[in-house]
Amino acid sequence: MTDRVAWIVGAGGLLGAAVRKRCDHQPGLVVVADDALPWDDPPGFAAAVQAVANRVVEAAQRRATSICVFWCAGSGTTASHPAQFDAEERSLEIVMSALGAAMARAGRRRHDDVLFYASSAGGVYGGAEHPPFTERTSPHPISPYGRSKLRSERIVADAAHRGGYSLAVGRISNLYGPGQRLDKPQGLVSQLALAQATGSPASVYVPLDTLRDYIHVDDCARKVVDFALRVADQDPNSSSEATKILATGRAATIGELLGLIHRLTKQRVRVVLGASPHSRLQAVDLRLRSVVMPELDEVETIPLPVGVAETISDVRWRLVSGEQSIRLGG
């Protein structure tokens, strides 16, 4: 079999760009589509998605090989308006429909075709009890964001069942690293690095002992690709669907992050502790541990101090270079 063909949906985002880079260095995998899509133009989006899906399936048919689709899109957070989640779910349904239609026209139904869907561990397990949470923990979302992620997991599961391809759902912990958008209040590590670099205060709406599992985007991208390929290569007689937590298995408090940045930069981060209606949607303890395909986690990962230092350098470089417009303050 020739190299598998890959389609990365959301290749312009933090995770998508890292998955794109990982695919470029992955033997046996060639990216044939990572197009920027017109997300804010529903009619144009549907037409563009169908054209890309057709191109991906045609490339796979021509090469007599399998397909890997990586869904790395989505910009919603716990603080987003529910309407944004509705729009993201509609976009997901459009992509699944387009992929299914392209496969049906080609008479294609292959177990070794695989879709990876990037879900959220924090959203899915937000209301669960007795951490650390594993894949055996029953999902218990407490926010519109978490409930949307569960609905999206069902959307892709239904599409995979109809299309006869495999599905890899990755429930990702707190993603961080160079390249995260700085003009939106998301990504705590990047926001703290931005506050430290500018002297502007960082607003924190949860207790400083809030525990999160921070995974560097490059480590997460490796897990994404390895997990998807492992699911695609499973015995056809076994389950064609798998869900795995993509995390480091090590958690840190916000206070520890602040202390780490202080040690790295010799400067304290100014923090404003505030109240927000979204605070009640955030669990204090979100320790995670994966028990699915644990061998995929037996690889050395980027230590948090190294990743945070790298993120601080990236934020400073973007401030100096003007690479991205950034709103400061508050």
- 190 within domain boundaries: no
Taking the C-alpha atoms of residue 328 and residue 194, their distance in angstroms, rounded to an integer, is: 9
- 261 within domain boundaries: no
Determine the pLDDT at residue 74: 87
* Residue bearing the bigger pLDDT, 182 or 304: 304
Domain count, the chain: 1
- 324 within domain boundaries: no
Taking the C-alpha atoms of residue 148 and residue 120, their distance in angstroms, rounded to an integer, is: 10
- CA neighbor of 124 nearest in space, from 103, 88, 152, 150: 150
Q: Report the Cα 39 to chain-centroid distance in Å.
A: 17
> ∠ CA 145-151-153 to the nearest 5 degrees?
105
Determine the pLDDT at residue 1: 61
- 238 within domain boundaries: yes
Given a contact cutoff of 8 angstroms between Cβ atoms, the answer to whether 208 and 254 are in contact is yes
Q: Over the stretch 30-84, which tens digit does the pLDDT of each residue have?
A: 999 999 999 999 889 999 999 999 999 999 999 999 999 999 998 777 777 888 8
Taking the C-alpha atoms of residue 252 and residue 209, their distance in angstroms, rounded to an integer, is: 9
- 106 within domain boundaries: yes
- 40 within domain boundaries: yes
- 320 within domain boundaries: no
Q: How far apart are the first and last CA of the chain?
A: 54
Taking the C-alpha atoms of residue 113 and residue 265, their distance in angstroms, rounded to an integer, is: 46
Position 330 pLDDT exceeds 50: no
Residue type for 250, please? R
Position 326 pLDDT exceeds 60: no
Position 329 pLDDT exceeds 50: no
Determine the pLDDT at residue 276: 67
CA dihedral 169, 175, 181, 187 (to 10 degrees): 120
Please report, for the domain that includes residue 98, its CATH number. Answer: 3.40.50.720
Summary mean pLDDT of the chain: 92
Q: Phi and psi for 113 in degrees, rounded to 5?
A: -75, 140
- 186 within domain boundaries: no
Q: Over the stretch 86-110, which tens digit does the pLDDT of each residue have?
A: 999 999 999 999 999 999 999 999 9
Q: Over the stretch 223-278, which tens digit does the pLDDT of each residue have?
A: 999 999 999 998 777 668 999 999 999 999 999 999 999 999 999 999 998 766 66
- CA neighbor of 246 nearest in space, from 304, 309, 278, 294: 294
Phi-psi region of 199 (alpha: psi -120 to 50; beta: other; left: phi over 0): left
Q: Which domain holds residue 10?
A: 4-174+215-246
Tally of CB atoms within 10 A around 89: 17
Taking the C-alpha atoms of residue 269 and residue 259, their distance in angstroms, rounded to an integer, is: 9
Tally of CB atoms within 10 A around 179: 17
